[in-house]
Amino acid sequence: MKKKNTTKIAVIGATGNVGRVMLQILEEHGFPKENITALASQRSTGREISYGEKGTLKVFPLETFDFSKADYALSSAGSKIAKEFSHKITQAGCTIIDNSSAFRMDKNIPLVIPEVNPEDLALGQKSKIIANPNCSMIQLAVALKPLDNLRKIKRVVVSTYQSVSGAGKAGMDELYAQARGTFMNALVPAQHFTKPIAFNLIPQIDIFDHDGNTGEETKVMNEFQKVMHRAIPITATCVRVPVFIGHSMSVNIEFEEAFSISDAKNALKTAKGVSLIPDSENYMTPIEIAGEDAVYVSRIRKDPSIPHGLNMWIVADNLRKGAALNAVQILEALID
């Protein structure tokens, strides 16, 4: 507890979806309010933001903050801000735990999920930057790492069903406005998403590349291989769905050798960060896991179409384990 009482932390992007959850989790994990500085853009300066149920923090401008007054910066302000301010922050002796995609595939910067590859944190001591992975990929890797330890994974096929909170407050507002407009007979055109999101599914998150993959699909595939330390063949289809909080995924795994369902369930049952629903006819949904920390795994069954195949359903709160919680867990691993 001593290091939590003395560690100075700046939260960049504190007024955004993820930034607010970062502050909530820091309070839940026992970090004293007086050691936390909430940072955002100039237009948010002076606002008060919640820190726990009773506390508040005043928001200070990122542009003028002296980072020599912070030991760590938890950043959720996006890639542009991360790249613009990273040199200033690290030169002041402050270590960044960054939630954007700016540094994830840099070979000199660790991409870390504490339950999966905590050994990579050592590289962050030199780089002074540690990247927080893609929200969907985090829950995928947390669930698949214990299975890969059981039997080497040969191939992964994943389809994600991602909530609008992954697109920020604007995405949540658009879903709300379109859903309300449907019942009020008032059309609200798509602005933040490529098509209407209310009562719809959109098989596009980010822009398409020359191979027809979206940016989100490429992130999931590339980042999964980096944290697993192995070029496991993986293909992904990422879909935006009309859900406010919680990312879901249908995952098909092919192992290199034979396995049993009971062994797979036992591996998941004892895995850190995983909550297993062992009953084959029970499962979790996004509305049930909002606000929870665990990665929930259910509907585990053999795939009869291949020799060593496994199907599973994975759900997690994308704002917590998919972003803010993972960043705080990295911080705790660094100061322990």
The reply to whether 183 and 286 lie within a common domain is yes
- φ, ψ at 58 (rounded to 5°): -85, 140
User: Residues 218-231: what's their mean pLDDT?
Assistant: 98
122 and 195 part of one domain: no
**Token pair belonging to 107:** 């070979």
How much is the pLDDT for 49? 95
Of 66, 62, 65, 67, nearest to 43 by C-alpha is 62
266 CB contacts (<8 Å, ≥6 apart)? none
Question: Do 78 and 140 share a structural domain?
Answer: no
Q: What is the pLDDT of residues 15-36, one digit of tens each?
A: 999 999 999 999 999 999 999 9
d(CA 163, CA 177): 15
> What pLDDT score was predicted for residue 126?
86
Predicted model pTM: 0.95
Tokens, residue 245: 């909080």
User: CB within 8 A of 2, min separation 6: which ones?
Assistant: none
Residue 75 has pLDDT above 80, yes or no: yes
Is residue 76 located within the same domain as residue 220? no
Same domain membership, residue 128 and residue 215: no
Give the Cα separation of 237 and 259 in Å (integer): 26
* DSSP assignment of 12-41: ETTTSHHHHHHHHHHHHTT--GGGEEEEE-
Residues 273 and 327 grouped into a single domain? no
The DSSP annotation for 199-236 comes to T--B--SS-B-TTS-BHHHHHHHHHHHHHHTS---EEE
What residue numbers bound the domain in which 145 lies?
A: 136-318
Reported as a single tens digit per residue, the pLDDT across 258-309 is 999 999 999 999 999 999 999 888 999 999 999 999 999 999 999 999 999 9
Could you give the residue numbers annotated as active site? 135, 247
User: Which residues are registered as beta bridge partners of 239?
Assistant: 161
Q: Examine the domain organization and report whether 102 and 197 are in the same domain.
A: no
Q: Kindly report which listed range (106-110, 186-190, 287-291) carries the lowest average pLDDT score.
A: 186-190
Token pair recorded at residue 220: 């999931």
In this structure, are 102 and 38 located in the same domain? yes
Asked if residue 123 and residue 100 are part of one domain, the reply reads yes
Which pLDDT tens digit goes with each residue over 121-170?
999 888 999 999 999 999 999 999 999 999 999 999 999 999 999 999 99
Q: Can you give the CATH number for the domain in which 99 is found?
A: 3.40.50.720
Q: 44 and 157: one domain?
A: no
Strand partners, 72: 9, 95
Shared domain check, 272 and 202:
yes
Write phi, then psi, for 64 (nearest 5 degrees).
-115, 5
Least confident of 46-50, 95-99, 196-200, 234-238: 46-50
> Within this chain, do residues 191 and 298 fall inside the same structural domain, yes or no?
yes
> What CATH number has the domain bearing residue 242?
3.30.360.10
State the total domains in the chain.
2
d(CA 14, CA 300): 38
State yes or no: pLDDT of 2 exceeds 80: no
